[in-house]
Amino acid sequence: MREQIRAWLDEDVGAGDVSSWSTIPAGSQSRAVIHVKENGILAGMPIAQLVFHVVDPSLTFHALAADGDKVQKGTVIAEVEGNTHSLLTGERLALNLLQRLSGIATKTSSFIEALDGLPVRLTDTRKTTPGHRLLEKYAVRIGGGSNHRFGLYDAVMIKDNHIKGSGGITAAVSAARRQIPHTMKIEVETESLAQVEEALASGADIIILDNIYNYLMKEARLRIKTHSPHVII
């Protein structure tokens, strides 16, 4: 994370913060206050603290709230003290990360509330911002969601392009079974009841119902639970 933060700072600061250098005396000391502008779920406080520490280890970060807290508009969540130049150098990156991660956590939480009482889990995808996957998936968890696979390396997910490229669901699942560790799951994306039936017959561990009408989804769920109740949908 430190390496990632340094790269983000290099992108923003470059050769230096000319606005601060040209207007504020080098030895100036200040106290910065971070407050909330909307109600929501807070996420990213440890990362914001790390940003300021990477910029200048002498800065003091006082956290007044924690990740997962439900915060109200106007709440002061942190105070940061130290060299004014350092504060202004780290300010935007820290706020960008706090805002993005808190936004994800807040949105996730709203979906979790909508699913209250249902026998389901809300999971995320690989459709993350490049360079931010670890943080964005962390924010999903802070909001009450669960993580799906982190990358191409930790599960077999047979999608439409794999099905076309391998000659069908049965061929794809069979080929994968021969080559992956026995502990790894195989997930198959289906777009019709016929594909659901083929995925079940091939021994898929997880079946995705992708772009399927609600009435067909109900029928697919019934068939899956009747044929293979252990299969995750």
pLDDT tens, residue by residue, 169-203: 999 999 999 999 999 999 999 999 999 999 999 99
Q: Is 189 part of the annotated catalytic residue set? A: yes
- Whole-number pLDDT of residue 176: 97
Tokens of 54: 């990477």
**Per annotation, catalytic residue among 3, 37, 127, 178:** 127
- Whole-number pLDDT of residue 225: 95
Tokens of 4: 């990632």
Q: Is 210 part of the annotated catalytic residue set? A: yes
Q: Is 92 part of the annotated catalytic residue set? A: yes
In a domain, 10, yes or no: yes
In a domain, 139, yes or no: no
Whether 95 and 193 map to the same domain: the answer is no
- Whole-number pLDDT of residue 118: 95
Q: Is 164 part of the annotated catalytic residue set? A: no
Q: What is the pTM of this model?
A: 0.91
Q: Given pLDDT bands bounded at 50, 70 and 90, which one contains residue 65?
A: very high
CB 93 within 8 A of CB 135: no
**Per annotation, catalytic residue among 56, 92, 191, 205:** 92
Domain harbouring 34, CATH code: 3.90.1170.20
Whether 6 and 109 map to the same domain: the answer is yes
Whether 193 and 104 map to the same domain: the answer is no
- Whole-number pLDDT of residue 181: 94
**Per annotation, catalytic residue among 10, 38, 160, 210:** 210
**Per annotation, catalytic residue among 159, 185, 221, 223:** 159
**Site of tokens 């777009």:** 191
> Of 63, 91, 114, which residue constitutes the final position of a domain?
114
Amino acid at 41: I
> Per the structure, how many domains does the chain have?
2
E strand or H helix at 62: strand 60-63
- CA 100 – CA 141 distance, rounded (Å): 14
Whether 15 and 86 map to the same domain: the answer is yes
Mean pLDDT for 118-129 is 95
Determine the structural domain holding residue 215 and report its residue range. 155-227
